[in-house]
Amino acid sequence: MARRIGVPAAKAAPVKTRSKKEKKKGKADLPAPPLPAPPPPPEDWAELSRPQATAAEPKAAPPDDWTLIRNAAGQVGWVLTRRLYMAIPVEVAQYAEGRRISSYFALGETRDGEETKKTWLWTTVEQGLQPHDFDSLRVFIWSVRRHRYETAYIERNLKGFFPVLLQPVDPPKQMRAKMTGKLPGFKVQIVKKDGRRYRRSYAYWDNKVRLSGDEPAPEPPPEPARAELPLLASARGEPAPPPESSWYGRVKQSVGDWRKRLFGR
């Protein structure tokens, strides 16, 4: 009977692992690569080394729109246009669509039950710093059936100028055979493609707005040349004149001069 004899298995040799310090030491032993040659200086290095005196141009202040206003007390002054808000009802102002309302007028009234709603005319401008006062006009009427404001007339892409006048106008050309006399309306000044100014009239009746006609408007007078303000004495390098004293100061100075003459003090 055969016997099995157990033979111990051969042990594998242990694998040595390098520590972090040994790895760093091995890397440190490697020589560093040689440095590349520096680039040569530019040919005009002497010219570039000279100091260049460049005066920094002052930045111009950003322009802004100003409006000359007069209040109920008769006081007049300039205010920033973007700080002005028109006192037109919010139910109408909500249709401005981001445009600035430059003027507004009441053309008439509409009775809706116990309420009375006005018919509004406004002018608006889309962007500031424009040579014209408005580029669009719009008329709002109160709808008795829907109980809200609706647009009765709108005109865009204008180059309009103030003033806007509420005056009676002639009937539209297509209705002059049926209508006689004047109709309520308003007038504005616009510049057409020919570059000339015209006074455009609009008739308003029965909650309707119709173009009445155009007529040449007088051209505005040329702007006067800006006169140069005189410089102050200190700005011209001259001694500034003494400030004017009051009557009491002049008398006091005269008494002091006489005291010096008589008593030497």
Q: Is residue 61 part of a domain?
A: no
Q: Is residue 259 part of a domain?
A: no
Q: Is residue 189 part of a domain?
A: yes
Count CA atoms within 13 Å of residue 139 on its CB side. Answer: 21
Q: Is residue 211 part of a domain?
A: yes
Q: Is residue 48 part of a domain?
A: no
Average pLDDT score over residue span 148-170:
95
Beta bridge partners of 141: 150
Distance CA 87, CA 103 (A): 10
Q: Alpha carbon 200 to chain centroid distance?
A: 28
Instruction: Please give the structure tokens belonging to residue 100.
Output: 């600035």
Average pLDDT score over residue span 177-200:
92
Q: Is residue 258 part of a domain?
A: no
Distance CA 68, CA 162 (A): 13
Q: What pLDDT band is residue 47 in, cutting at 50, 70 and 90?
A: confident
Amino acid occupying residue 206: D
Distance CA 182, CA 170 (A): 5
Residue 103's closest CA among 164, 187, 168, 166? 164
Which structural domain, as residue segments, surrounds residue 212?
67-216
Instruction: Please give the structure tokens belonging to residue 137.
Output: 């006009």
Contact by Cβ (8 Å): 95, 122: no
Q: Is residue 44 part of a domain?
A: no
The percentage of the chain sitting over the pLDDT mark of 70, rounded to a whole number, equals 72
Task: Give backbone dihedrals phi and psi of 135, rounded to 5 degrees, phi first.
Answer: -125, 5
Query: Could you give the C-alpha distances from 63 to 57, 60, 77, in angstroms and in order?
Result: 17, 9, 19
- Stated pTM of the model: 0.61
pLDDT score for 13: 57
Q: Is residue 140 part of a domain?
A: yes
Residue whose tokens read 């920033």: 80
pLDDT score for 225: 63
Contact by Cβ (8 Å): 129, 100: no
CA angle centred on 158, ends 154 and 163, rounded to 5°: 90
Query: Could you give the C-alpha distances from 173 to 27, 202, 228, in angstroms and in order?
Result: 100, 11, 52
Domains of the chain: total: 1
Q: What is the pLDDT of residues 135-148, one digit of tens each?
A: 999 999 999 999 99
Contacts of range 69-76, beta carbons closer than 8 Å, 24 or more positions apart:
none
Q: Which helix (H) or strand (E) holds 191?
A: strand 185-191
Residue 118's closest CA among 105, 131, 129? 105
